[in-house]
Amino acid sequence: MEKPMTANCTDYHCHLLPALDDGATDVRESLEMARILAAFGFAAVHCTPHRIMGCYENDPARVNRAIRSLQGLLEGAGIPLRLIPGTEHYLDEFLLDQLPGVLTVGSSRYLLVEAPFRSGTGMVTAMAAGVQKRGLAPLFAHPERCSAFDPALREDGLRGALSFFGRKKEPGMEGALVLQLRDCGCRFQGNLGSFAGFYGSDVKERAILFLKHGVYSCVGSDAHRCDGLAAMLAAGLQAMVAAVGEEGANLLLAGSGLD
């Protein structure tokens, strides 16, 4: 499957906007990335630059300005790609103070958040509860890359973390933390690059496991550069279809799990 079969294919996580974070360096690269995404059948892209206090101060006004500018350039270049403003929020001690005046996923109740790769289960679960108390639902970006979501974690650690939600870990459940958080209203976005093995074999193994257990509600390219993008998309789409079939892949590409 080199190209999505659905006509409603959406990239839910992409660093397409130029010079806002560690993504596209300039307009030229943004346009080339957009061409590649459109060629693979993507009709819409959630532009989600990092928002990290003291590093990338991408407030809604700045993101919206960049969206308007790039959308006009895409139309002028004849690239059929609809840009949707968003942000990838870092899950740290500053996040809750920014809520609720933030860009959510397509103006929904879902907030795209990135957990630190070496974060613990207690921190992740407590922050998820804090986001929910403010009327939003976390959409965790690439959980397969975060150690807190590793299905191999000891049960004792999960038991304490899940007490924030008043839930208990079900014995023997693979991927217990992601499944428990999903039942509590959180959602998860998988990276196409993870499915393709671009972040290593361990991440790929977790990503395929999560695919097969229905963890993900949507997928994204998490593209930062045009170099290697086409190869990553082709390999990621192929791996996703191998894991869940074309119908399952198309449901994820349409974001059907974001109710």
Short-list 132, 139, 177, CA closest to 155: 177
**Beta strands, E only, 121-161:** 137-141
The DSSP call for residue 148 is G
Does 162 map to a domain?
Answer: yes
Does 259 map to a domain?
Answer: no
CA-only gyration radius of the chain, Å? 17
AA identity, residue 178: V
What pTM was computed for the model? 0.90
Confidence of residue 235 (pLDDT cuts 50, 70, 90): very high
Which pLDDT does position 3 carry in this prediction? 62
CATH number of the domain residue 23 falls in: 3.20.20.140
The total number of structural domains that make up the chain:
1
Which pLDDT does position 7 carry in this prediction? 64
AA identity, residue 38: A
Does 4 map to a domain?
Answer: no
Does 3 map to a domain?
Answer: no
Q: Residues in the chain, how many?
A: 259
Which DSSP string do the residues of 35-91 spell out, in sequence order? Answer: HHHHHTT--EEEE--EEBTTTB---HHHHHHHHHHHHHHHHHHT---EEEE--EEE-
pLDDT digits (tens, 9 = 90+) for 58-101: 999 999 999 999 999 999 999 999 999 999 999 999 999 999 89
For the record, the structure tokens of 242 come out as 């191998």
CA 63 to chain centre: 17
Does 85 map to a domain?
Answer: yes
Is residue 100 reached through a cis peptide bond, with omega within 30 degrees of 0 on the bond before it? yes
Does 185 map to a domain?
Answer: yes
pLDDT surpasses 60 at 239: yes
- Cβ(86)–Cβ(105) below 8 Å: yes
Does 247 map to a domain?
Answer: yes
State which residues form the domain around 120: 10-253
Q: In what order do the strands lie in the sheet with 82-85?
A: 10-14, 44-47, 82-85
- Cβ(41)–Cβ(9) below 8 Å: yes
pLDDT digits (tens, 9 = 90+) for 133-189: 999 999 999 999 999 998 876 444 444 455 445 555 443 344 468 988 999 999 999
Segment 7-34 mean pLDDT: 96
Q: In what order do the strands lie in the sheet with 218-220?
A: 50-51, 88-90, 110-114, 137-141, 187-191, 218-220
Does 1 map to a domain?
Answer: no
